[in-house]
Amino acid sequence: MAKYELRKLMRFTVAIFAVVFSVYIIGGTFSSASGETILDGLTVTNELRCSKYKRSNWGSGWLSLRGTGLNTREEVLIAESLTKDGMWLGPYNGVILRDASNTDVDHMVPLKEACESGGRDWSTEKKKKYANFQLTPNHLIVTSAGANRSKGARDPAQWMPANKSYWCTYLLDWTDIKRAWGLTVDKAEAAAIKLHWKTCAKFSNGIKTGR
């Protein structure tokens, strides 16, 4: 419960700052790290091919694993809502969402990408755990449905958020999750991460509203 409240407090603070100053800056300043540092501890190698990838192998939809009576999507929506009646920040495009039906809960590192980066041979239980994991901030995040579907299963060499102010945070979360789960990065992915990291601290975008 304390972790949920902390996540809500952090997101609420960012939202208030954004509204008051009309600036949406999630990324912050990350100039102290280099493109090489952000890749520390990650193995750069060719991707595996998951020709038989099936979402059902990672759990049939959102599961209920925490004894709350809610499934993972419902828990994440509650944890990340900025208000009691439901309001979310969609960081990929800087949109404020007020209708849960227009949200997706996204895997920061998509399931198919995880499969191709070393998760292919995980046990079914570990795959389900990964698909529903909530103990690491931003492993699962609320996004606008359109932004999530634009991203699909693509890595940073193929897709980056439209909201460039989120790029530093996005790259940090992406690499942290891959490192924590022992997942690899391919050469193009590593090169893109280093390239985007060099410039991400420059960006800030105005906030948008949507329903």
What b/e sequence results for 12-31 when a residue is b if at least 16 CB atoms lie within 10 Å of its CB, and e otherwise?
Answer: eebbeebeeeeebbbbeeee
Question: pLDDT tens for residues 78-124?
Answer: 999 999 999 999 999 999 999 999 999 999 999 999 999 999 999 99
- State the angle between helix axes of 167-180 and 187-199 in degrees (0 to 180), rounded to the nearest 10: 140
CA distance 144 to 131: 19
Question: pLDDT tens for residues 162-177?
Answer: 999 999 999 999 999 9
Whether the CB-CB separation of 8 and 80 falls below 8 Å is answered with yes
What b/e sequence results for 93-105 when a residue is b if at least 16 CB atoms lie within 10 Å of its CB, and e otherwise?
Answer: bbbbbeeeeebbb
pTM: 0.81
Q: Give residue 18's pLDDT.
A: 38
| DSSP 3-state of 140 | strand
Half-sphere exposure of 20 (CA within 13 A, CB side): 6
State which amino acid sits at residue 56.
Answer: S
